[in-house]
Structure formats: structure tokens, C-alpha cells
Structure 1
Amino acid sequence: MRSLDEMPDHERSWEALRRQCDGTVHSSYYLNRAWLQAFEGSARPRIVVVEEKGSIVGLAPLCSYRYSVKGVPIKVLSLAGDLRGRLRLSTNSILVSPGRPDVLEAMLREIKKLNWSILWTINMGWSPQTEAYVERVRETWLPIERTGQAMVTVPLPAEGDVADGFDRGARKNLRRIMNKLEREGVRVELAEIRREQIDRAVDEYARQHIERWESRGGSYFRNPENVRFLKLATREAYDRGQGYAAELLINGDVAAQYFIYIEGGQAYGERIGMSQRHADRSPGWLIMYHVMGELRSRRVHHLHVGPGTEQYKYAMGGQETILVGIGAIRGAVALLARLPMLSVDRLTGLKEDTGV
């Protein structure tokens, strides 16, 4: 599929394969389509589909983009949701019907036909199919080996206080924060964001992100594509009954926000924002605590807080799952990479973490 217009006809079969493969919400039809729509000025769909008797049995949700390094034009084929400076789909993965190595081979033949110098498929969820894909890419092209990031997941206690799963220091810190606010008469409440409030809420999220990060290297929410994606993805999730977003209000002011996708008993929450104005009141800890309670009431038992090893994730009882992936180069880029003065990293300009 090379255009957004081709995608709707495949939604039902795409989702059937994803369920068969236990793919995460980041491999879903609706998030891939929202990402490709929001970033259509930066990347183009190159979705490889393997069909059998009218059903999808293999799918590689890829996109293509170009850039140059020292004047050398580079053509990249990557998983949708992995483009530097753009919001990512953290565990987007290739999907292959279990027990079908022939489907994987058909997928690789189609990938081989596409126009690319670099293949970049990292941070996929582990499965026998993604493991087989990594091995076949390694055998077929000059590989770029990458150790996957750690995806951190916080299990929610089935009963009692949701903070019971936090470590001792985190529980003590949370009690101190809440007691201090109570003594000062500060009003704290959690408000769910309604669908008609999404655009306003995302604009506020972007404003606060820019305010917080402008003096520390800049905010990627200066890019309107990132704002557009968060709005599109959140609306699509709400329309499917899979979205939840909330604001923590301190004395009526928006002090923090959290945007989450929910599927079954799993919640995926990577977009958490905080106001500089209320930074001394630890709004990040407060919204995490209150949202975890709300998610548990919705029968969520695991909250995926995204890749990255920030300490607060582990203080809340976070557990690691290592993601898998691989890159590859071919053609002129592969030839240049063999020269002693050029490393693969210098030539490709790629980093392990290209999305944000």
C-alpha cells in the first residue's frame, strides 16, 4: 500500500492478523493510519501486505523517507512511527501469521523490491515471528545490529492502594506530597478529558511542553505534525472506546495531563505532561497515582509506561521487557560503510532512538 486511500479496505483483516499475533496497540490499523496521515509531509506509506484467499497473513507497516549525510542522499525504509523528532509508535512490529515461514519469505521478497538504502526496523515486541524476521534480515543484507530498548510496564495491584506496588521511597514521597497539599488547603482533582475537549487539551499539552523544554534543547511540539498526530490518535482511540485522557487540576489550573490508549486489560501511557507553574507540587507523581486508580476501576491490570529507563518508572514497580529489532544497509551505502574512515552510524546518521 502506497497511499492512505488504500488502507480502509484492509482494516478488518489487519486487525484480525494483529490479534492472531498478539500485536500491541502500536501495531493497530488506526494508530498506523493516524501516524501516516499526520506525518504525510515527512514520510510515505510503504505497507507490505501478504494475502491468502482474501485475508492478510503477513503485514509490514513500513514507511519511506529521505535525508542526506554529507551530501550523500539516503533512502530509508522504516516502521511507521519511527522517524527522528516525531512522536513514535513504540512497539510497532511486523506481523506474520504464526507457523508460516513462507509468509515471511514473501514479505522479504517485497521489501527487497522497494527503493531503499537503509532498512530500519527496531524496537519491536518479541515473538517467534519477529525473531525469525531479524535473523532473515541479518542473513539477507549487511546488518546494523541494535540492542532493543527496554519497555517498562507497571503492574497494578488487584486491590488495596495502587501505590502498594511502589517502592518504599516512592510511597513515602507520595504521602509527603499529598499531606503537604492537604495542610495548605490546595484543591487537587482528576478530570477526564471529553472527546470534544481533545483539541484544546492537546494544544495545552503542547504549550506546556514548549514552556518546559525550550531552555533545555527545545520542544518537539514546535513541530505542528506532532500536535496533529496526538489529536488524531486520541480522537481515533476515543471513537473505538480505547482512549482515555485526563488532567490533574490544582486549584482549577491544569497542572498535568496524561494521554492513554486502552486495549483489554492493557493501558499504554507514554504522553504525560506537566506545568512548570506547579512543578514544586510534583504533579507528575500525583497524576500517575490518580490515573492508575482510575485505570484499575476500568479493569486495567498493566500500564505500559514506554521505552526508556527513567528512575520513576522503576520506583513505581516497573518491570522491563527488552524489545527486538534490526537495521540493514545495501547498495552504495553498504559499499561506503566498508571504508575505514566511515562507520555505519556516521554514514546513516541514525540513532537507536529515532522517535520521541
Structure 2
Amino acid sequence: MALSAEILTDPAQLERERAGWDAAAVAAARPYCAPAWALPWWASARPAGAELRAVAVRDAGELVAMAPFYVTRDRFGIATWRLLADVTSSFAEPVTAPGRRAEVAAAIGAALRDSGEAVDVLALQDVPADGAWATLLRQNWPGRRPALAPVSTTRAPYVDLPAGGYDAWLAGRSRNFRQQIRARQRDFAKAGGTFRRAASPAEYDAALHDFVRLHMDRWQERGGSAALTPEVVAMLRGAGRSAGPGRLHLWTAEVDGAAVGTALFVSAGDETHYWLGGFDEAWARCSPSLLLLVEGVRHAAQTGLRRLSLGPGTGSYKYRLATGEQTLETVDLLPHGLRFPYVRLCQSPYRFYRLASRRTPPAVKQLLRRAA
């Protein structure tokens, strides 16, 4: 029997699909695609004027996939379909069991075609290239295939955990790294340092306060942080209330009860992803952020996870922990139709801006933020 799909436009409809949607995110091992992360983003941090257009895909009435799109329209009237939370986190893509991606892509394409709405641009941002969602959606699109407009690629290092767990992973790192980590762990312990994972809603709220403070303090002299807006902070509070046990891990490094470092991890299936962190510059000598990532690896191994993604970016500290890397791609699909030439024309300056933004060195961006 062919899959069926419907477009949901009311958050209450998505709430009713929470269990099946979460099961699809767990099967796909995509933490940021789960309802506990995406729905708080929609409630608190969505762009002004965004409209919900989630595609629910069913097999004999059972939800087997979710593509939670939202639509924005620019000043030219271009309707861009994106995935919930894509501006806040990477790896945002349709979710289903790996073996069903092709048929799900066909169902999504048919639903968008039959919706009667303008689908000028289907934007996928920082999605794994090896997941091939851009290719699958294009190849299985009904009728003429959309134009494929690549924007950029980036790398996302990860830690694959061996059968021997944390000790086997550490043994696979360089001798210099092992010596440095053990020395910093000893120094931190001698100073009275400990690590704590928020285990209750009250602990999470307290740890979130420290998380925001430490991150913002560190970025204040760099022109501010674009990652933690008030809207995103509200989203994180909602995610803390929404996520089930073992799905949202907020770690704190403490000395005498005072937070000197924090790190947030989000999990689904057999993967956990590092989202963001912060630390007190006064404790930089102990590298609390690096020690928290090591604790994240230890915890992932203890709980039987297969992979810890360190997120997009090529910071040298990530590669000291990493065992491999993924390529993330940002790509636009432009369906053909009467509006296609107009969309192409209007997209030209927008694409140039995105390319320029992606290729601007971080130091230059910091100078621009200070100037602003």
C-alpha cells in the first residue's frame, strides 16, 4: 500500500502526533528533529510571520515519518519552506526509519505538489550529505525534478564510541592528549572541582541560568552572541520541560558550588549531540569546556550510545576528541513552475549573501558585531 501524507497547520495537531513523531526521530537518531526540541522552538523562537506546514506521512494510518516544515515569505513574495529549528540547530531534516527514506521523499513531494500552495524554495540547512535528503527529494519529486542549488558545506566532527567504551576511546587518542586531559582533570579535582548533570526540572532551571550567564559573559567582549537570544533561552526552558528522561543533558562544572563551565547535549536513538557551552575565563587554565566534553563522552559510553556529534565547525579542540567527521550541506531545491524564472531572479542576491556569510572568517564577523 502506498504511503499517504497530510499537511498539518495547527500546533495542536503536531502535539497529537508527538509519540509517533518522536519514534521517527529516535529511529533516525536525530535529536534536534524530535518534538521535545522542535515544538518549543516553534512556540518561542520562530521567525515573525512564519506559518506551520508540517508533512505527516502514514502507512495504513500509522505515522512513519514527519517533515515539520514552516513557511516564510520575503519582501518579493518568495515562499521558502524550511524545517523547524533549522536556524537554531544543525541536522534538521525529515525523520523516518533509514530504509524508508526514498518512499517517504516521494510522499513528501506529492503532498507539497498537491497542497495548492506556493513552494518556491525548499531549503535544507546543514543536513548530513550522507543522508542524501536533497537528492532523494529531487529524484522522487512528482513530474519535472526541481533545480538543485547548493549553497555551502561544512564539517561536523564526531566521536564514535568503540566496544570498549570510554577507556578504549581514550586509549585511541594521542599520548599528548591523554596526558593533558589527565593533568587538567587532576588540577580541577584538587581545586575542588566536580561535574554534575541536571537530574530534575529544578536542577535544569538552575543549571540553565548558569549556562546562559557563562556563555553570554564569554561573548560579551566579542560583540555578543547570536546563539542565545531571549527567544532561544525561552525555547531551552520549554525543551527542559518537554524532553523525556535521558534526552536533554545539561552538565555543569562546579568549584565550591559555583558554576565555572556548562555544556548542553541533546539525544535521540543511539546518538547525542553537543549543542553549546560556556565557561568562566578565570578557570581557562583547567579547560572546563574540554573537560565537560570528555565527561559527555564518558556518559555517552556508559549509557550505550553509538556516537557523540560535536556539531558543525572545525575548532581544533573538537578534532582532539573526534574519531571522524561528517559533511553537512546547505542546499536549496527550486521546483519548476510558472514562478520558477522569477524565483531564480529574486534568489540571486540572497544566494550571494548566504555564500558571503558562510565564507566570512569568524574574526571578521566579530569585528562587524563590535562595530554594530
Do they superpose with TM above 0.5?
yes
Superposed CA RMSD in Å reads 3.3
Matching residue of 2:92: 92
**Counterpart of 1:207?**
213
Going from structure 1 to structure 2, the CA distance change for 1:103 and 1:278 (only over 3 Å counts) comes to closer
Give the alignment of 1:36-185 within 5 angstroms.
Answer: 36-40=42-46, 42=48, 43-68=50-75, 72-83=76-87, 87-88=88-89, 90-95=90-95, 98=99, 103-112=104-113, 113-125=116-128, 126-127=130-131, 131-136=135-140, 140-157=145-162, 158-159=164-165, 160=167, 163-181=170-188, 185=190
1:76 Cα offset (Å): 2.3
Question: Which position in structure 2 is the counterpart of 1:187?
Answer: 192
**Offset at residue 334 of structure 1 (A):** 4.3
Change (3 A) 1:66 1:243: same
305-314 vs 111-120, which moves further:
111-120
Deviation at 1:232?
Answer: 1.8
Is this contact kept in 1: 2:26–2:268, CA < 8 A? no
Give the alignment of 1:198-277 within 5 angstroms.
Answer: 198-220=204-226, 223-237=229-243, 239-277=244-282
CA 1:346 to 1:289, structure 2 compared with 1: closer, same or farther past 3 Å?
closer
Unaligned runs of at least 5 residues, structure 1: none
Q: Please give the per-residue CA displacement for 1:240-285, whole angstroms capped at 9, x wherever unaligned.
A: 4423222101243211112222345432222222122322331112
Q: Does 1:289 align with 2:291?
A: no
- Residue 336 of structure 1 deviates from its aligned partner by 6.4
Which deviates more, 149-158 or 121-130?
121-130
CA distance in structure 1 between the partners assigned to 2:31 and 2:170 by the alignment: 26
The answer as to 2:307 corresponding to 1:302 is yes
Q: SS where residue 198 of structure 1 aligns? A: helix
Q: Do 1:208 and 1:276's aligned partners in 2 also have CA atoms closer than 8 Å?
A: no
| 1:222 to 1:292, Cα distance in 2 relative to 1, 3 A | closer
Shift of 1:106: 3.5
**What is the alpha-carbon distance in structure 1 between the residues aligned to residue 324 and residue 54 of structure 2?**
32
**8 Å Cα contact 1:91-1:123 kept in structure 2:** yes
Deviating more after overlay: 111-120 vs 304-313: 111-120
Q: Partner residue of 2:325?
A: 320
**CA–CA distance in structure 1, aligned partners of residues 211 and 92 of structure 2:** 24
For 1:204 and 1:100, locate their aligned partners in 2 and report how far apart those are by CA, in whole Å.
Answer: 40
Following superposition, the deviation at residue 329 of structure 1 comes to 4.0
TM superposition score normalised by structure 1: 0.81
Deviation at 1:78, TM superposition (A): 0.7
Query: What is the deviation of 1:225?
Result: 0.9
Secondary structure (helix, strand or coil) at the match of 2:17 reads helix
Q: How many residues align?
A: 341
Distance 1:161 1:12, change over 3 A: closer
Change (3 A) 1:178 1:349: closer
Unaligned runs of 5+ in 2: 1-7, 360-372
- The answer to whether the Cα contact below 8 Å between 2:29 and 2:268 also exists between their aligned partners in 1 is no
Shift of 1:205: 1.4
Q: Distance in 2 between matches of 1:6 and 1:244?
A: 28
Percent of aligned positions that are identical: 18
Which residue type is aligned with residue 53 of structure 2? R
Question: Deviation digits for residues 289-324 of structure 1, max 9, x if unmatched?
Answer: 233323333233421111222111111133112235
SS at match of 1:277: helix
1:221, CA displacement in angstroms? Answer: 5.2
